Amino acid sequence: MASLAATFGRGAMTNHWKDIKNADVILVMGANPAENHPCGFKWALEARDNRGAKLVTIDPRFTRTSAVADKHLQIRPGSDIAMLGGFIKHILDNDLQHDDYVRAHTNASFIVTEDFGFADGLFAGFDEAAQSYDKTAWEYERGPDGFVRRDPTLEHPRSVFQLLKHHYDRYTPEVVANITGCSEEGFLGMADIICSTGRADRAGTIMYAVGWTMHTVGCQIIRTAAIMQLLLGNIGRPGGGINALRGHANVQGATDHAIVAGILPGYLKVPTPEQQSFEAHLTDSTPRPLVSDTVNYWGNYSKFYVSLMKAWFGDHATPENDFAYDHLAKPGGDATWLTIWNEAHQGRLEGFVALGFNPLLAGPDVPRLFEAMAKLKWKVVIDPFMLDSAEFWKAPGQNPAEIDTEVLYLPSSHWIERDGSFTNSGRWAQWKEKAVDPPIGVRSDTWILSELFWRVKELYQEEGGAYNDPIQHLTWDYLNPREPTLVELAKEINGYDRTSGQLLSSFGQLKDDGTTASGNWIYSGSYTEAGNQMARRGTADPTGLGMHHDWAWSWPLNRRVLYNRASADADGKPWDPQRAGIAWNGREWIGDVPDYGPTTPPDAAGAFIMNEEGVARLFSTHLADGPFSEHYEPVESPTTNPLHEQVPINPVIRWYDGVRDTLAMSAGSEFPYACTVYRVVEREHFVTSNVPYLVEAMPDFFVEVPEGLAEEKGIANASRVRVWSKRGSVTGTAIVTKRIQPLRVNGKVVWTVGIPVHWGFVGLTTGSMANQLTPFVGDANTRCPEFKSFLVNLEQA
Amino acid sequence: MDISRRTFIKASVAGGAGLSALGFDLSPAYAAVRQLKIRNAKEYRTVCPYCAVGCGTIAYVHGSGGLNTTNTVIHVEGDPDNPINGGTLCPKGASQMQLAISPRLQHQPKFRDARSDEWRDVTWDFAMDWFARKFKESRDATFTERDDEGRVVNRCDGIAWVGSATVANEDAYLITKTMRAMGLGYIDHQARI
């Protein structure tokens, strides 16, 4: 998601599930929706059957999605950037880009500083000692007016367009085939389909999921795809887009509401220690326009931030105290998943709370997580079911007598016993009705959280202690303060006028003078004076495009396709009248809720209103590891990097203490095989181990072993096989398969083994934890762990 | 009369309105077949708890809804009005009834003492007192008001909160609001993994 924000301005799926039916080409890569999102995937089949769309898959395995696709291409895990980089070159070499779109809606014409360059695997500005980039080497060149210099002809050698051409020029079909393991013909056949949508009358979409994010280059894989989609003019259009398929019911919503390190609700930024004043925080967080014709909507940052502080601290947030600026923590550095576990492993973390989450099984490197958990003083697990994470001290191989951690397990209520809203992948917030009361003895998450809050607050009142003004000042004026209703919280999220108490209908009404409050500005408009918009059930579809504006509510402002201004040309005329996103009628925009001023003329500002450039970024300075993408090997790779052997892996990833020793960083006989992990349709991570039908349908842990490799190793189908990495080992039933073929990569044969993630030691059936094997290293930007590509060995058990 | 399966059906259909060729009235039998078990159930529109497609579902609930009575989910199926799934569900969604009323759902807070090899049951009051006490202890012990450079940071580095992508937006918001007010920085959920 970091990558989509770096390109388009917002970190979310651009389109929505039903919109996929409008596509002419659907690329499924880094996802397997037939298996993992079946009812959303049916819109891809609808496009295939009703529009004659081409559905193609690129994956290390022949998946259930591949089984219904027009074409499938197998690549080895972690080689996606090479493949997508090849498509970019193919587009540019053959002039297949949507030229008018690229000129109107991207930064192709922007001129970049002379300092920029790329050589031997490194972008300009690399600081060897700090293992990071000095991004001043990637800046745009400014004109005398202070704005970025642009060359509308796109011919300037330092224009983004020319730099892009030059950068991806190395990704020839031969290089792509050599890195990914596919054939040149296979690549070209795929390129013909995927690169066919660079026209006004065609639209192509991409469906991806954690098969892209879970790499040390995860963000840059997505960046490569985003660049490709921009060249083809596919962003902002019905039937286009780049669609991130989320794996839990409310991943999108929990992210929007910032149960996430580094952000506050609505993607506001957590203050840093360097930002000692509110003014400094605002200066750093509010982008300044880079061109004269940009809406630069993040320019309103202060209104969203102040309104959040008013929602949280009410009268205690005043202009005099910088709206309670010091009430929020300023973390000392990264605070994401791997860092949390590293802190625990180093013995610095005392307490750990997991709510609706089974972190032990989630990995990576479960043996390391066991060590880390045993160093905690206390741990609380809150879930409707007993979890492996709560019972880690009695897991097989653990000795409870040596584990000092005190553990509390709290049974909480279930989704069906609660109302409230889930936001799906496509940003539709759908309100659910409560069907039944929780059983006696069970409490809601809201009750548990409120009770914790009140008891901690009261302890501080009685005993004093560390700085607790924020706890004492936190607004909590709910009718029943020991268990607020979700309706009350939904209204607080939406926001209200603090003078009149009226609910707001849009974040356009938010102010930075303290007169408005909103718990999450992007949800402004979801619960208004007109009622709960998320509970709406109108099924009308006047456009026939499946937008359904009267069904539920979609952030922001019920907009169904993000960046829809780009669905029209420079004059506001839809690229394809059959699939119009919005259209300018001379006075206003009609169609979808415009991602643009409703009456702003088409030539007044760029189409990408969240970007200070006003347009989408082919070249982006917002990621840590480069303004363009580059193929780097997984940290555990079966080969060297054919592009630059001396910089084989992402040079700016963060290394946690002692982790290098747990990695097989050079390919050798010890760990010769690539391995990847995945889900199956009958299971969803771990909770389904409580469901008898599903356990019966998919009872046991297994290992997918390619036919030829099984033969070589003397492993018979359905026999027991052991797989181990440098970190741990798993044992399961061998499924000998044709679905994974050997690939010839960089001169040698690479075998890939596949492992499902669904088992643990608690459940109707138990089995090996896939994450025993996975490496404790993550993406250079998000630190999302590299679950999807690592090295193993295997033998008959 | 030689009755094949086909003629039996014809005869039965013809007899739907009254006495059939079989010589007896089948209409009560038809009526009985049409009595669905969800006939008297109340319908609640909810959303599938698994992946993020957001399939609409209908939970059918038996029970009067009276004070101190217990209502029961008896059936869950896809919501045909929902534009995303149009009533369809995948194997997981279709079996969510078993998740909703699983005998494996827990009803009892449990506590594991240091070095113990078993759980013991505790009351909610004990549980929340202990939770709040530990929270405050660790917060106080690991709280930094000013860092080594003398900068105001007001953070608690000794407690982490993870989850969840499975709770409603409104609870997610309350988690962030409460934990940020507590001074936590180590906050994350399933999106990253």
pLDDT tens per residue across span B141-192 = 999 999 999 999 999 999 999 999 999 999 999 999 999 999 999 999 998 8
Nearest to A373 by CA among A396, A410, A337, A343: A343
Report the C-alpha gap between B145 and B158 in whole angstroms: 13
Q: What is the pLDDT at residue A64?
A: 97
Instruction: Indicate whether B137 and B188 sit together in one domain.
Output: yes
Q: Is B119 on the interface with A (CB under 8 A)?
A: yes
Chain A residue numbers with beta carbons less than 8 Å from the beta carbon of B48 are: 249
> CB distance B45–A432 less than 8 Å?
yes
Report the C-alpha gap between B82 and A428 in whole angstroms: 12
Q: Which of A363, A430, A442 sits opposite B54 (nearest CB)?
A: A430
> CB distance A378–B113 less than 8 Å?
no
Report the C-alpha gap between A33 and A362 in whole angstroms: 20
pLDDT tens per residue across span B75-92 = 999 999 999 999 999 999
Half-sphere exposure of A282 toward its Cβ, with a 13 Å CA cutoff?
A: 15
Instruction: Indicate whether B72 and B91 sit together in one domain.
Output: yes
Q: Of all helices (H) and strands (E), which one includes residue A313?
A: helix A301-313
Chain A residue numbers with beta carbons less than 8 Å from the beta carbon of B142 are: 348, 350
Answer for the pair A20, A44: CB distance below 8 angstroms, yes or no.
yes
- Chain B interface, best mutation among A325, A408, A451, by max B CB count within 10 A: A408
pLDDT tens per residue across span A619-662 = 999 999 999 999 999 999 999 999 999 999 999 999 999 999 99
Q: Which of B129, B151, B192 sits opposite A782 (nearest CB)?
A: B192
Does a structural domain hold residue B62?
A: yes
DSSP assignment of A541-576: -TTSSS--TTBSEETTTT-SSTTGGGGB-TTS-BS-
- Chain B interface, best mutation among A250, A276, A424, A491, by max B CB count within 10 A: A250
Answer for the pair A561, A241: CB distance below 8 angstroms, yes or no.
yes
Helix B124-142, helix A445-463: angle, nearest 10: 60
pLDDT-derived band at B14 (thresholds 50, 70, 90) equals: very low
Q: Is B15 on the interface with A (CB under 8 A)?
A: no
> Token pair 């802190």 is at which residue?
A343
Instruction: State which residues form the domain around B23.
Output: 1-35
Q: Which of A249, A270, A416 sits opposite B50 (nearest CB)?
A: A249
Q: Edge-to-edge strand order for the sheet containing B42-47?
A: B42-47, B56-62, B72-78
Instruction: Indicate whether B159 and B119 sit together in one domain.
Output: yes
> CB distance B183–A403 less than 8 Å?
no
> Token pair 């929706």 is at which residue?
A33
Q: What is the pLDDT at residue B8?
A: 47
Residue A744 to chain B, least CA–CA distance (Å): 30
Residue B78 to chain A, least CA–CA distance (Å): 10
Q: Which residue has the higher pLDDT, A329 or B26?
A: A329
Answer for the pair A27, A71: CB distance below 8 angstroms, yes or no.
no
DSSP assignment of A130-157: TTEE-GGGGPBPB-TTSSBPB-TTS-ST
Chain A residue numbers with beta carbons less than 8 Å from the beta carbon of B147 are: 273, 332
The first and second tokens of residue B163, run together, are 């989850």
Q: How far is CA A745 from CA A170, A183, A211, A674, A725, in A?
A: 17, 10, 20, 12, 21
Q: Is B91 on the interface with A (CB under 8 A)?
A: yes
Report the C-alpha gap between B23 and B21 in whole angstroms: 5
Burial letters B39-55, b for 16+ CB under 10 A, else e: eebeebbbbbbbbbbbb
Question: Domains of chain A (ranges plus CATH)?
Answer: 2-247 (3.40.228.10), 337-463 (3.40.50.740), 660-796 (2.40.40.20)
Chain A residue numbers with beta carbons less than 8 Å from the beta carbon of B102 are: 385, 690-691
Chain B residue numbers with beta carbons less than 8 Å from the beta carbon of A448 are: 128
Instruction: Indicate whether B54 and B31 sit together in one domain.
Output: no
Q: Which of B122, B149, B193 sits opposite A337 (nearest CB)?
A: B193
Q: What is the pLDDT at residue B36?
A: 81
Instruction: Indicate whether B19 and B76 sit together in one domain.
Output: no
Chain A residue numbers with beta carbons less than 8 Å from the beta carbon of B157 are: 331-332, 343, 348-349
Residue B160 to chain A, least CA–CA distance (Å): 5
Chain A residue numbers with beta carbons less than 8 Å from the beta carbon of B81 are: 537, 539
Phi, psi (deg, nearest 5) at residue A348: -90, -15
The first and second tokens of residue A524, run together, are 């402004």
Instruction: Indicate whether B134 and B160 sit together in one domain.
Output: yes
Chain A residue numbers with beta carbons less than 8 Å from the beta carbon of B161 are: 259, 353, 355
Q: Which residue has the higher pLDDT, A471 or B20?
A: A471
Boundary of a domain, candidates B79, B100, B121: B100
Count of the separate structural domains present in chain B: 3
Give the number of beta-carbon pairs within 8 Å between A and B. 486
Chain B residue numbers with beta carbons less than 8 Å from the beta carbon of A428 are: 54, 84
Nearest to B178 by CA among B131, B113, B124, B123: B131
Instruction: Indicate whether B132 and B177 sit together in one domain.
Output: yes
For residue A240, the one-letter residue type is G
Q: What is the pLDDT at residue A399?
A: 97
Does a structural domain hold residue B154?
A: yes
Q: Mean pLDDT for each consecutive 10-residue tract of chain A (797 residues)? A: 91 95 98 98 98 98 98 98 98 98 98 97 97 97 98 98 98 98 98 98 98 97 98 98 96 97 97 98 98 96 98 98 98 97 98 97 97 98 98 97 98 97 98 95 98 98 98 98 98 98 98 98 98 98 96 98 98 97 98 96 96 98 98 96 97 96 86 97 96 97 98 98 98 98 97 98 97 98 97 96
Q: Which of B52, B59, B181 sits opposite A435 (nearest CB)?
A: B59
The first and second tokens of residue A534, run together, are 């998320």
Nearest to B161 by CA among A643, A381, A634, A369: A381
Residue B3: pLDDT over 60: no
For residue A635, the one-letter residue type is V
Q: Which of A394, A405, A423 sits opposite B117 (nearest CB)?
A: A394
Helix A301-313, helix B169-182: angle, nearest 10: 80
Average pLDDT over residues B8-13: 48
Nearest to A229 by CA among A212, A218, A242, A213: A242
Closest residue of A to B172, CA-based?
A: A254
Residue A151 burial by CB count (10 A; 0-12/13-18/19+): exposed, middle or buried? middle
pLDDT tens per residue across span B107-120 = 999 999 999 999 99
Instruction: Indicate whether B114 and B183 sit together in one domain.
Output: yes
Closest residue of A to B88, CA-based?
A: A39
> CB distance B44–A434 less than 8 Å?
yes
Boundary of a domain, candidates B68, B100, B132: B100
Q: Which of A254, A330, A449 sits opposite B154 (nearest CB)?
A: A330
Q: Of all helices (H) and strands (E), which one includes residue A256?
A: helix A251-256
* Stretch among A352-361, A610-619, B5-14, B33-42 having the lowest mean pLDDT: B5-14
Q: Which residues pair with A723 in a beta bridge?
A: A730, A794
Instruction: Indicate whether B123 and B157 sit together in one domain.
Output: yes
In degrees, to the nearest 5, what angle opens at C-alpha B75 toward C-alphas A427 and A682? 60
Report the C-alpha gap between A110 and A150 in whole angstroms: 4
Q: Which of B78, B84, B165 sits opposite A254 (nearest CB)?
A: B165
Q: What is the pLDDT at residue A364?
A: 97
Boundary of a domain, candidates B57, B81, B100: B100
In degrees, to the nearest 5, what angle opens at C-alpha A600 toward C-alphas A597 and A601? 145
Chain A residue numbers with beta carbons less than 8 Å from the beta carbon of B78 are: 39
Does a structural domain hold residue B105?
A: no
> CB distance B160–A349 less than 8 Å?
yes
Instruction: Indicate whether B95 and B143 sit together in one domain.
Output: no
Answer for the pair A421, B170: CB distance below 8 angstroms, yes or no.
yes
Chain A residue numbers with beta carbons less than 8 Å from the beta carbon of B158 are: 348-351
Residue B15: pLDDT over 70: no
> CB distance A684–B50 less than 8 Å?
yes
Q: Is B157 on the interface with A (CB under 8 A)?
A: yes
Supply the CATH number for residue B94's domain. Answer: 2.20.25.90
Instruction: Indicate whether B114 and B187 sit together in one domain.
Output: yes
Closest residue of A to B50, CA-based?
A: A249
Half-sphere exposure of A182 toward its Cβ, with a 13 Å CA cutoff?
A: 27
Nearest to A594 by CA among A506, A503, A494, A492: A506
Q: Which residues contact A530 (CB under 8 A, 6 or more apart)?
A: A505
Nearest to A231 by CA among A218, A242, A215: A242
- Chain B interface, best mutation among A22, A39, A683, by max B CB count within 10 A: A39
Does a structural domain hold residue B187?
A: yes
The first and second tokens of residue A106, run together, are 């991207």
Instruction: Indicate whether B47 and B1 sit together in one domain.
Output: no
Alpha carbon dihedral A694, B189, A609, A599, in 10-degree steps, equals: 60
Q: Which residues pair with B47 in a beta bridge?
A: B56
> Token pair 């409707």 is at which residue?
A384
